[in-house]
Every structure is written in structure tokens, then in C-alpha cells.
Structure 1
Amino acid sequence: MRNLLNLLVTLLVFWIGNQYFNQYISISDTKTLILATVLMFVISLIYGLLLTISFVSIVVGIGCLTTPLLIAASLVLTPIKLLLLDKYLSGFDIHGFWTYVILTIVLSIFTVKVKSKSE
């Protein structure tokens, strides 16, 4: 359920950016909008899988090296995803450094996190 909400939030952020801030972010058509959203979602799932594998591999000793690197990468993961979409997805264009910064902040604020239950 959390992943579906994150997918919808990303779709909404991209759509609002395209509709109201089209001088900073431009998406050519609905197909590109949906493809960009799905690619952001897939990259996040792959990162989550890598992080899980890294945590599990701590027992073997390899995770002690990979886990800190993946945690550090999480700080810049959203801008990297946006940069990859801008570079490789035709019809998806982000204009300017500050647009990356603002999109990263907006996507981070509206990303749904799982609350842990305190006992």
C-alpha cells in the first residue's frame, strides 16, 4: 500500500510540475509522465532490495562495507534518479539546478514512510 501511495504521489508531483511550472520541468505527453513515474518507482524498489541484501550480508561480513555506502547513496538517490530520467528519457526535461533541488525536497516531503509502533 505504501509503495502505491508513493507511486501516486510521484505521479502527482510530476503532473503538477508539468502543468504549473512548465518552464522548469517539461513532460511531453501522458505516456512519458507515466513512464517517468514508473521508472522512479522501479529504481526505488531496486535500491530497497539492494539495501535489504546488504543488511542481510552483514552476517557474512560483506555488508559492513556495502551498507554504509548504500546509506550514503540514499542521501543523493532522488537527484540521481531525476538526473537519469532527464538524461535518458526523451520528452522529460528538467531545467536548472534549483529545479532538481526543489523536486528532491518536494518528493522527500511527500514520500510515505512506514511508522514504527512504539511500545
Structure 2
Amino acid sequence: MTRFFFCTAAIIIGATLAATVPARAQSVQNDSASQVVSLADLNLATAQGQTEARARLGLAAEHICAKIGANDSVDDRLACQRQAFRDARRELTHKTLEQHAYTEVASNAH
């Protein structure tokens, strides 16, 4: 019988937002990893900024899930990547809305 334990992958966006991701992985211990992904140089209100942010988050998800799931099946690592990316995207959406709201307020403050 295979026993499943939870591994945690976290992608930290900028300095203030974090997404913690539980994903099923075969392991004998509870592993976790995180990676900081800076988006400070991106304008998240543009399509180009969003595309670059998604690319960075995708690479981070691949990296941390490979790190904590080196001995896991490919399916488990892919499930971890999908969940890490999905949770990080949720955080990115919040950050984008915050940035857009700040831009709106600043542009209306003439």
C-alpha cells in the first residue's frame, strides 16, 4: 500500500504575498520549499507584465516542486506544479487588482 503525505510548495510574490500550496506526493516525510518571485519590475496592469509574471511563476512552480518531489512520480510533481501555479496566480490576481486600484487613485488625484 502506498502512503501519501502532504508536501508544501510556496511561491512568494514580491515581499508581502505568499501562496502556500498543499500537494499530494509520495514521501516518507513532510517536505516543504518556497521560492521568492520578484514582480517588482513588472507593470501588472499590462498584458506584457501579466505574461512575464505567469512565466516567472510557472518556472518557480517547476523548480520548487522538483525540489520537494525529487523521488516522487511525474504525476505527483505535475500535480504539485499545477496547484502551486494556481495558488500563485490567485495571489497575482490580488496583487494586480491592488496595483490597478493604486494607479486609478493616483491618476485621479490631479
Query: One fold, TM greater than 0.5?
Result: no
Q: How does the TM-score come out when normalised to structure 1?
A: 0.42
Select the structure that is richer in helix: 1
Q: How does the TM-score come out when normalised to structure 2?
A: 0.45
Return the structure number with greater relative CO, CA threshold 8 A, min gap 6. Answer: 1
